[in-house]
Structure formats: structure tokens, C-alpha cells
Amino acid sequence: MTELRTYFNEQQDAMVALLTKMIEHETFSIDKPNVDRFMDFMVGEFEKAGAQVTRHEREEVGDIVQATWQADAPGQPILLLGHADTVWPEGTLAERPVRIDEDGRLYGPGALDMKGGLAIALFAIKGLLDRGELPNRPIHYLLTTDEEIGSKHSQQIIEDMARESGLVLVLEPPTADGSLKGWRKGTASYTLTVTGKAAHAGNEPEKGINAIIEFAQQALVINELNDLKMGTSVCVNVVHGGMATNVIPDHLTASIDVRVMSQQAKNKIDAAFDDLHPFIPGAQVKVEGGHYRPPMERNDAALKQVKNIASGVGMSVHDDGAGGGSDGNFTAAIGIPTVDGLGPEGLGLHALHEHVIINSMPRKATLIAAILRDWED
């Protein structure tokens, strides 16, 4: 076992203690007061670790915090990217307090997604500082507060900081088998609106234009856009229409979830939606796009270097991908080498059994520290 791995093994209890404190701050995305209190805590932790801290205020979500080490160093910066917000509302902690089972799994709301990653990344930096091995380059740690609700309030600062960086390390959890996330699908949401004409269902049904019947035919066309072998999924998941059993429905809306492996696939879906035409004379059909995270396409060179660095500290790492997006999608889409899934291992994303495997924390802290120390631009 290398000296670096031994060092972080000795920090395991301290990592668990910090993670526990993090989880005990509830940080539901839309609960700004609680999220801001957590950010107060993190500012203190960053400052204790010698960082220069900048707080970017936000009105609707928690403030974003940027911690920087060696701001004036000559090397190209590396950006560590994580989010503080979780999907769990206030009160969840009282129902599911932090606990550690006999198999060494730490349970708690937000443990895996993604406070475990936040904790080990801070320890990775502190370890390099303690060992005198921090590289001669700026290290930025950006902690956002709205990833779980689309990153609308943080996307711009994420992209701005990424453009100044040579590498982005995303602190999200790995895949279920512990692999890094070398790619992620792009995620897009759309709203389909169908407009018909109301009429009395008993007296004058022939004078109506049934929005539901029009939608049913459109849904079959949309379903044909699926190309699962190529990683494209198009799913009509929520439908609202009709007002009473005796009224021909004149309006319907449907929410559509789209996942793609490439921007080219996304463009193909957009073109197909633009080409939808009504089946029923007089009906109107419109598709509007909403939130979009572009695909995080695989960067072979970055992953190869990460694997070589891991080998140098006695570790073997693998990579896979994920159907869900992260803030790494934004950084990869603007051409910055991005590696995701650097958080500790565990299971239960957004689920009641969410947990971190404790003995994976030192290993992943070692990997983050080694990448920071040994990365070559």
C-alpha cells in the first residue's frame, strides 16, 4: 500500500465525523435558510483548511461558495465541482438520523448524493497540504446549491469557472459497482400541448375536437422516436387533460422526458418534434423544450490519464456511464476534460436506504488527491 493510501486510511474516522456533521445540516434544494446555514458551516471548514473563500449570493436558492487554494500559482487550475443541496425536505433527518451498521455502511439523507463526495474532496486537499504535496496550480472547489432542481442558478458560474480550468473533477457518487462515470446522457424535458374544441358529449359530440384522441395518436408517433440501442429514450410520463365526462376535451398537456448520448441525437429529436402535425382537422399541436443538460461525452484521454495516475498509487479504476445528468454535463459540453463519479461508493440515490460504504472513503480521497497532485495538462 502506498504512503498516500496509508495516510488517508488513517483519516477515515475524521472523514466519517465530518460527513456526519454535513448530513446533520438538512439542505433541501428550495429551503434557502437551511442551505445557507450549511454553507456557513462549509465556509468555516474551507477557511480552516486555508482556502480563500468567495460567497456568491443567490435570492431563490442557497448561496454558492467558491473555495480557492493557491490563486496566484502559475499552473492551469483544476476545478472540484459539487453540490450541497439534496432531495430531502426538512424533517427527514428526524425520521432517518445518521447511523452506521455492522457492515460499515453510513446511512443518512444526502450521505451518498453527495455529501460523501464533498467530505472526501476536502480531505484530499487537506492531506496534500499536510504532506506538502499540493501542486503548483490553483485549486478551485465550487459548491453549488441547486443541482437537484436543474442548476438554473449556478450553470453560468459553473461554465465560467470551467473555462478557466484544465480539468473538472465532479464529486458525484460512482456507479453501483464503483466505476467512475466517464459519460452521462444528456437530459431534456419538453411539454406537448394539444388544443381541440369543447362540445357537449351528449348533444353535439360531432362539433368537438377531442384533444385526448389527438394526443393518443401523437403519443404513438413520439414513442417511435425511441432508439434504445443508440441510447436515446423518449418517454411521455405525465398527462393532464379533460374536465368532465360530459365535455369533449379541448386541451391537453403532456410532459416528455428525453435522454440522449450525443448532441446529434438531441438535434434529431428536436427536428422530429418540429415536424409533428395534427391528425384531426382543426386540432393544434405544439412542443416546447424546457430544461436541458447536454450530454457528457466520454473523454478517452482524460480517463486514460486518471487510470495511469491511479495505477501509480496502487489502485485500479474502471469507468462506465449513467443515464442521469450532473453538473459535469455542462463542463464537458464546453470542451473541458471532465471526470465524474469521484465520490465514495454506496447505494440508494434519492432512496430511503441511501448510504455510503465507509471503507471506500479513504480510497476515493486517495484517488482525488493523486489526480490533483499528478495531473499533467
pLDDT digits (tens, 9 = 90+) for 213-259: 999 999 999 999 999 999 999 999 999 999 999 999 999 999 999 99
Q: For residue 286, list its beta bridge partners.
A: 193
24, pLDDT greater than 80: yes
Q: Which residues contact 276 (CB under 8 A, 6 or more apart)?
A: 218, 221, 222, 285, 287
| Mean pLDDT to the nearest integer, 201-212 | 97
* Extents of the domains making up the chain: 3-184+296-374, 186-293
104, pLDDT greater than 90: yes
Q: What is the pLDDT of residue 167?
A: 98
Q: What is the pLDDT of residues 294-335, one digit of tens each?
A: 999 999 999 999 999 999 999 999 999 999 999 999 999 999
Q: What is the pLDDT of residues 28-78, one digit of tens each?
A: 999 999 999 999 999 999 999 999 999 999 999 999 999 999 999 999 999
Cell of residue 107, nine digits: 446511512
Distance CA 52, CA 367 (A): 24
CATH topology classification for 186-293: Alpha-Beta Plaits (3.30.70)
> Please, what is the average pLDDT of the chain?
97
Spatial strand order of the sheet with 105-107 comes to 99-100, 105-107, 355-357, 346-347
Using a cut of 0.85, tell me whether the model's pTM lies above it.
yes
| Mean pLDDT to the nearest integer, 189-208 | 97
Task: Give the whole-number percent of the chain exceeding pLDDT 90.
Answer: 99
Assign domain 3-184+296-374 one CATH number from 3.40.630.10, 3.40.309.10, 3.40.50.1820, 3.50.50.60: 3.40.630.10
| Mean pLDDT to the nearest integer, 134-148 | 97
Report the SS3 class of residue 351: coil
The closest alpha carbon to 83, from 124, 28, 143, belongs to 143
Judged on CB neighbours under 10 Å (0-12, 13-18, 19+), 74 is exposed
Instruction: Provide the CA 255 distance to its chain's centre, in angstroms.
Output: 21
Q: How many residues does the chain have?
A: 377
Distance CA 338, CA 164 (A): 13
- 355 and 106 Cβ atoms separated by less than 8 Å: yes
The 10 Å Cβ neighbour count of residue 179 is 16
Q: Which residues are catalytic?
A: 85, 147
Q: Which residues contact 192 (CB under 8 A, 6 or more apart)?
A: 215, 218, 222, 236, 253, 254, 255, 256, 285, 286, 287
| Mean pLDDT to the nearest integer, 7-32 | 98
